[in-house]
Amino acid sequence: MTVTSAKKDGDTLLQIEDLHVDFLTDRGWTNVVAGVSFDVGPGEIVGLVGESGSGKSVTSLSVLRLLPDAYARTPSGRVLYQGRDLIGMPARALRDIRGNEISMIFQEPMTSLNPAFTIGDQIAEVYRRHKGGSRRAAFARAAEMLDLVGIPDAGSRVKDYPHEFSGGMRQRAMIAMALACEPKLLIADEPATALDVTVQAQIVALLSRLRDETGCGILFITHDLGLVVELADRVVVMYAGEVVETAAALDLYNAPKHPYTAGLLSAMPHLGVRGKELPTIPGRTPEPWRMPEGCRFSPRCGYTSDECVAAPPALRIVEAGRSARCCRTEQLRLVGSP
Amino acid sequence: MSIKKVGPSEPGPEPGPVADSGPASKAESGPASKAEPGPTAGTGSLVDVRDVSVVFRKRRTLAAARQVRAVNDVTFHIAEGETFGLVGESGSGKSTTGRALLKLVPTVSGSIKVAGHDVTALHGGALRRARRSMQMVFQDPYSSLDPSATVAASIAEPLIVHERLSARAARTRVHELIEMVGLRASYADRYPYEFSGGQRQRLAIARAIALNPRFVVCDEAVSALDVSTQNQVINLLERLRSEFKLTYLFIAHDLAIVRHISHRVGVMYLGRIVETGPAERVYSAPAHPYTQALLSAIPDPRRESERIVLEGDLPDPAKPPVGCPFQTRCRFVMDVCRQQVPEHTAVEGGGEVACHLQTSGPTLAGSPLNDLAPTRVAAAP
């Protein structure tokens, strides 16, 4: 696994800078993503990990502005795609980027596909919208894409409807659609979560191969730390709306620098620990309207001291190529996955 | 007097243990079954499932009704106080098996004995009474608790129906139960939406143990939870098991979790159990190629061996292949696999496997599956 930190200027594909997102709730505007920053380089796979409520999906949806304007707002922050800010971009210009230069796949392929049109029609539609050309050429492209993602007998399956595909094949079809216009960035939001483990393995192997073949960058959002470390070059861990740690995947796995990451790693169900009490992280993710003072993880952290509660810690560089949001990390002996 | 009479004539060790092992001893002394379960079978199986099949009829418009054999000749047993893990992918029949055990779906053949009850033969009031001793925890705590009732009302319902407790007595018991699963008794009058997923699953567990059951089916009970809360619930289940001598059927698709909680494991594929055995043996030396592939699918960043990525999907359960159910995706497929369903054979280290490699494989004959080279080379994913 090659690790690129992709920090050089001009070498960055996607750059998220201090992104804030608020949701309109019964309690008024409530902040759910609080100053997230990270980037994705060309051909790089970045894993965005967190539990439910961490803000990882909201962050990924904000990149292409897929949240409803009436209920979500981005009061500050920038999302730069090849230097252009997507947040302030006119809707028309953004539509030329969506599905073309940046495309996205979601967790549930059945709800993302239109049941009334054939798989081929749906892939061809995206292609013609962005690249033009004849209907016939677009349909041929659809068959070519299905073949690329490993659908057997793609030439005839392209005329099938979504219900004729299995769950794994539907997710492959979604990936085919996402890649039809040769995007430079693919955002995959829990693409393997609803699938069986053996099919999950197929999808992950497919994404890895496509990155190698097409050179697209991938932002891979998941709650599964084991999966992300196996697939990604770099991992960004989110907790309660903030980035708490970023590092090269194996570094994070072997030697976490934030107690939350360490807790997640120890809580991963490992083979071979039968009978022993499983490690847990006490408590639960805080509600967005009831964020703890100081460090947001402090009420659940085993290492909390006065300075943790006094002021919110900043995300800072703790080693070359990695950062953590913990004021005590140098004093702690955090252990990685056993 | 009578004891003295019997004693001298039969000095063997037989009378003692048989007397208190209840229903299992009956099964034991009956004609030896062709699929005799493992060594613990005689020592008091609480659950004994033999050759059970479940058939669903799918009615389609403009076409004849078609049958799906969701569970096909499934045999296993669970000893008292033991946790039996049932793993498999969606469509494997693992959840249907769990439901059949509590008679939530009808069986077409075979016998199911749970805690002394012949479940397949029970109806009406007798079935309702028997269900006190067997309970279920479902995957989705959002839909298994009534959103319009307080959690106290949901947990008290079985107590009022079965134990005819007064409202006051039920309330005391509800508070006890809520504290038993690690929540505050003061939460009793809240509604399900006020709880997180992990807390809701704790409440579902509180309801399941309200009647002091002996057997609990946990159907993907932790699958919808985040990792940190998942472990909290697993620890709770383990604590309750040892405290109340519970017996679990733990159904899940996550092999790592099943490994942690189970003493013995069964692997299902397309309605059939393809492998059973002690968890340690199944995980360290899988005997079925499907088990091997499932284990290989667990993400492991430090993996040293090549990851086995299965090709294709589960076949349509309405049209299962003739012979071995796994043949369409097996790396070691042979001619015999397309002709005959493999018999269950004993595996060294405990348990059984249904695979032709064990009986007619040219190279295997007892050597570990991990050493065998595939007969079919996998294509690129």
User: Among residues A262, A245, A244, which one has the least CA distance to residue A253?
Assistant: A262
> A62: Cβ–Cβ under 8 A, 6 or more apart, which residues?
A19, A21, A33, A72, A74, A79, A87
Amino acid at A126: V
Contact A264 B228 (CB under 8 A): yes
CA B327 distance to own-chain centroid: 24
Q: For residue B14, what pLDDT is reported? A: 36
Report pLDDT digits (tens) over B151-177: 999 999 999 988 888 989 999 999 999
B62 vs B242, higher pLDDT: B242
Q: For residue B207, what pLDDT is reported? A: 94
Question: In angstroms, what separates the C-alpha of B73 from chain A's closest C-alpha?
Answer: 24
Instruction: Give the Cα separation of B150 and B126 in Å (integer).
Output: 29
Report pLDDT digits (tens) over B180-192: 999 999 999 999 9
Question: In angstroms, what separates the C-alpha of A195 from chain B's closest C-alpha?
Answer: 9
Residue B314 pLDDT class (50, 70, 90 cuts): confident
Q: For residue A271, what pLDDT is reported? A: 53
CB pairs under 8 A between A and B: 119
pLDDT per residue, tens digit, chain A (338 aa), is 333 444 444 579 999 999 999 999 899 999 999 999 999 999 999 999 998 889 999 999 999 999 999 999 999 999 999 999 999 999 999 999 999 999 999 887 778 899 999 999 999 999 999 999 999 999 999 999 999 888 888 999 999 999 888 888 898 899 999 999 999 999 999 888 777 888 888 888 899 998 999 999 999 999 888 889 989 999 999 999 999 999 999 999 999 999 999 999 988 876 555 667 888 888 888 889 999 999 999 999 999 999 999 999 999 999 999 999 999 999 999 988 77
Q: Which residues of A touch B301 (CB under 8 A)?
A: 226, 229-230, 249-250, 253, 337
Lowest mean pLDDT among A313-317, B33-37, B113-117: B33-37
Question: In angstroms, what separates the C-alpha of B101 from chain A's closest C-alpha?
Answer: 24
Mean local confidence (pLDDT), B246-259? 91
How is B255-305 classified by DSSP, letter by letter? HHHHHHH-SEEEEEETTEEEEEEEHHHHHHS--SHHHHHHHHTS--TT--S
Secondary structure (3-state) at A220: strand
Contact B253 A263 (CB under 8 A): no
User: Among residues B185, B347, B297, B367, which one has the least CA distance to residue A203?
Assistant: B297
Strand partners, A36: A19
Contact A274 B259 (CB under 8 A): yes
Average pLDDT, chain B: 82
Q: For residue B378, what pLDDT is reported? A: 47
For chain B, the domains span 286-380
CA B190 distance to own-chain centroid: 32
Contact B227 A52 (CB under 8 A): no
**Residue A47 belongs to what H/E stretch?**
strand A45-49
Beta-carbon count within 10 A of A149 CB: 24
Q: For residue B36, what pLDDT is reported? A: 37
Q: For residue A274, what pLDDT is reported? A: 62
Of the residues A238, A274, A290, A297, the best mutation for testing chain B's interface (the one with the most B CB atoms within 10 Å of its CB) is A274
Rounded to 5°, angle at Cα A212 from A208 and A215: 115
User: Among residues A65, A80, A52, which one has the least CA distance to residue A21?
Assistant: A65
Q: For residue A1, what pLDDT is reported? A: 37
> B108: Cβ–Cβ under 8 A, 6 or more apart, which residues?
B53, B54, B55
- Residues B336, B340, B345, B348, CA torsion sign: positive
Structure tokens at B204: 């579902």
Residue B305 pLDDT class (50, 70, 90 cuts): confident
Amino acid at B128: R
Contact B226 A223 (CB under 8 A): yes
Strand partners, B252: B87
Q: Which residues of B touch A224 (CB under 8 A)?
A: 299
Encode B203-217 in three state secondary structure.
HHHHHHCCCCCCEEE
Contact A274 B310 (CB under 8 A): no
Structure tokens at A223: 């709650």
CA B373 distance to own-chain centroid: 32
Instruction: Give the Cα separation of A113 and A170 in Å (integer).
Output: 8
- Please, which residues 28-67 of chain A have a Cβ atom closer than 8 Å to chain B? 51-52
**Residue A318 belongs to what H/E stretch?**
strand A316-319
Q: Which residues of B touch A284 (CB under 8 A)?
A: 196, 198, 229
Mean local confidence (pLDDT), B16-40? 38
- Please, which residues 247-306 of chain A have a Cβ atom closer than 8 Å to chain B? 249-250, 253, 263-264, 267-274, 277-281, 284-285
How is A190-217 classified by DSSP, letter by letter? STTTTS-HHHHHHHHHHHHHHHHHH--E
ipTM for the assembly: 0.79
Q: For residue A152, what pLDDT is reported? A: 84
Instruction: Give the Cα separation of B274 and B291 in Å (integer).
Output: 8
For chain A, the domains span 12-101+183-338, 113-182
pTM (2 d.p.): 0.82
Class at the top of the CATH hierarchy for domain A12-101+183-338: alpha beta
B289 vs A111, higher pLDDT: B289
